[in-house]
């Protein structure tokens, strides 16, 4: 099997698994308990907090553990919105191609009286900082822009946007779920106030993540109850999961340069090979993208059939995001970069992992070529394109 769906989730690293098992075995006490066995678990928790903070340039007390990226996104947006409401600032700026954890929370906030501006991400899938600047109003309480897109992998000019927000005194949240552990992220250098991350996107376990909140910004609770996490996130902490997340992140951070170099090489080989397929187009900027992300549209075919046939060849890939598969709506991300419905339906996302090699890449290229050819062979859409009845877009 060639696993090329790392944007959906990653395999846990050996370090993460070993840490998870050893903590579950030896440190299963409740970190809120006062006896030694509980305090040992507390120590593990605080060591993990320190390690994670260290990787992103934060202070340990600025890290709050959550159940993952979605929860961190929800809490970040709701906290900033609550602070805005107090000041009568009810305007939020985000982008059209955010993850649904952001977009759906913004929809909910709209029903609660907030006004939302979604910025254009243009054909290359990159937000223009000057457009963020121009969209900020006196009543803007929050700007939320993702670090790297989960479908097309494009990396946003976060530092510049953060700088603008800082100057205009507007809170800046970054969904960095696809970036943390993969590309350098530093909350100080990048001028970030709130940042979401998730362990299972960097070879940690599922169901655990964190929210960074710059000192001095008050968080609102999503979950009421005990006083865990400085009273901001009730519930007994997932100690083995959190320890494993820290282990995974430390390793990802140490190997980041080496991994990125290899992945970029493999990515560019894939991009070149798939580009030989006629009437195809790469989605998102070719260079300002995650080292492991390739996303293509092939005209005249349907993404779902492509995925099933690739699965038969032992290749795990995706079209759009795992969250929208199962629905027939084309990806909101591809629509946001201007792909029309028909073209957006024929999309393929390959998010490769560090263990991929050249022969895997060549096998993927040949398989996609074969499957696209095969599907076009009996596609009525393709027939109309070839006969000139309809016009090619790509």
Ligand X SMILES: *Cc1c(COP(=O)(O)O)cnc(C)c1O
Which residues are catalytically annotated?
A: 323
* Closest distance of CB 373 from ligand X, Å: 31
Site for ligand X in 284-343 (CB under 6 A): none
- Separation of alpha carbons 391 and 394, rounded Å: 9
Q: Rank residues 180 and 274 by Cβ distance to ligand X and give the closer one.
A: 180
Site string for ligand X, 179-218 (x = CB under 6 A): -------------------x-xx-------x---------
> Which of 41, 58, 177, 348 touches ligand X (CB under 6 A)?
177
Q: Rank residues 158 and 372 by Cβ distance to ligand X and give the closer one.
A: 158
Q: Which SS3 state, helix, strand or coil, does residue 348 take? A: strand
Residues near ligand X (CB under 6 A), total:
15
* Closest distance of CB 175 from ligand X, Å: 5
* Closest distance of CB 293 from ligand X, Å: 11
* Closest distance of CB 68 from ligand X, Å: 3
Neighbouring C-beta atoms of residue 252, cutoff 10 Å: 23
Is residue 146 within the footprint of ligand X (CB under 6 A)?
yes
> Which of 42, 78, 89, 99 touches ligand X (CB under 6 A)?
99
Longest C-alpha distance within the chain, in Å? 78
Site string for ligand X, 100-129 (x = CB under 6 A): -x----------------------------
What size, in residues, is the chain? 394
* Closest distance of CB 27 from ligand X, Å: 24
267 near 352, Cβ under 8 Å?
A: yes
Is residue 350 within the footprint of ligand X (CB under 6 A)?
no
Q: Rank residues 181 and 303 by Cβ distance to ligand X and give the closer one.
A: 181
b/e for 167-195, b at 16 or more Cβ within 10 A?
A: eeebbbbbbbbbbbbbeebebeebbbbbb
SS3 content of the chain, % helix, strand, coil (to 5): 45, 15, 40
- Separation of alpha carbons 68 and 331, rounded Å: 22
> Which residue has its beta carbon closest to ligand X?
69
Q: Show the tokens assigned to 223.
A: 């979950």
- Separation of alpha carbons 75 and 93, rounded Å: 16
Site for ligand X in 54-93 (CB under 6 A): 68-70, 73
Q: Rank residues 80 and 101 by Cβ distance to ligand X and give the closer one.
A: 101
Distance set, CA 258 to CA 253, 262, 291, 355 (Å): 10, 6, 11, 12
Which one of 174-182, 279-287, 329-337, 384-392 is the stretch in contact with ligand X (CB under 6 A)?
Answer: 174-182
Q: Which SS3 state, helix, strand or coil, does residue 91 take? A: strand
Q: Show the tokens assigned to 41.
A: 């678990």
Is residue 145 within the footprint of ligand X (CB under 6 A)?
no
- Going by C-alpha positions, the residue among 94, 123, 121, 95 that lies closest to residue 338 is 123
- Going by C-alpha positions, the residue among 3, 102, 1 that lies closest to residue 349 is 3
38 near 29, Cβ under 8 Å?
A: yes
> Which of 10, 74, 95, 178 touches ligand X (CB under 6 A)?
178
320 near 289, Cβ under 8 Å?
A: no
* Closest distance of CB 90 from ligand X, Å: 24
* Closest distance of CB 179 from ligand X, Å: 8
Catalog residues that contact ligand X under the rule CB under 6 A.
Answer: 68-70, 73, 99, 101, 146, 150, 175, 177-178, 198, 200-201, 209
């Amino acid at each position: 099997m060639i696993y090329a769906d790392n944007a959906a989730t990653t395999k846990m690293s050996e370090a993460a698994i070993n840490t998870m098992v050893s903590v579950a075995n030896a440190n299963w006490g409740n970190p809120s308990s006062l006896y030694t066995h509980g305090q040992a678990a507390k120590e593990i928790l605080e060591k993990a907090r320190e390690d994670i903070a260290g990787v992103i340039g934060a202070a340990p007390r600025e890290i709050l553990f959550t159940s993952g990226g979605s929860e961190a996104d929800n809490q970040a947006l709701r906290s900033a919105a609550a602070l805005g409401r107090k000041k009568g600032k009810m305007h939020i700026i985000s982008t059209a191609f955010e993850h649904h954890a952001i977009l759906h929370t913004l929809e909910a906030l709209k029903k609660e009286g907030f006004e939302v501006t979604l910025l254009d991400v243009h054909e290359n899938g990159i937000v223009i900082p000057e457009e963020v600047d121009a969209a900020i109003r006196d009543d803007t309480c929050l700007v939320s822009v993702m670090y790297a897109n989960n479908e097309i992998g494009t990396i946003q000019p976060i530092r510049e946007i953060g700088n603008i927000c800082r100057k205009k005194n507007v809170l800046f949240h970054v969904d960095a779920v696809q970036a943390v552990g993969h590309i350098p992220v530093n909350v100080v250098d990048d001028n970030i106030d709130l940042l979401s991350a998730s362990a299972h996107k960097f070879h940690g376990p599922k169901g655990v993540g964190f929210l960074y909140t710059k000192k001095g910004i008050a968080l609102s609770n999503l979950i009421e109850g005990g006083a865990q996490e400085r009273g901001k996130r009730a519930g007994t902490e997932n100690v083995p999961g959190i320890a494993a997340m820290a282990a995974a992140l430390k390793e990802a951070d140490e190997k980041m340069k080496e991994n990125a170099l290899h992945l970029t090489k493999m990515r560019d080989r894939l991009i070149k090979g798939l580009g030989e397929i006629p009437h195809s187009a790469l989605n998102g900027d070719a260079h300002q993208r995650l080292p492991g992300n390739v996303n293509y549209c092939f005209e005249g075919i349907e993404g779902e059939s492509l995925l099933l046939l690739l699965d038969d060849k032992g290749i795990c890939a995706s079209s759009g995001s795992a969250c929208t598969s199962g629905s027939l709506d084309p990806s909101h991300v591809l629509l946001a970069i201007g792909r029309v419905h028909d073209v957006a339906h024929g999309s393929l996302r390959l998010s490769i992992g560090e263990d991929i090699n050249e022969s895997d890449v060549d096998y993927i290229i040949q398989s996609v070529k074969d499957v696209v050819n095969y599907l076009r062979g009996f596609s009525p859409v393709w027939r109309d394109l070839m006969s000139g009845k309809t016009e090619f877009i790509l």
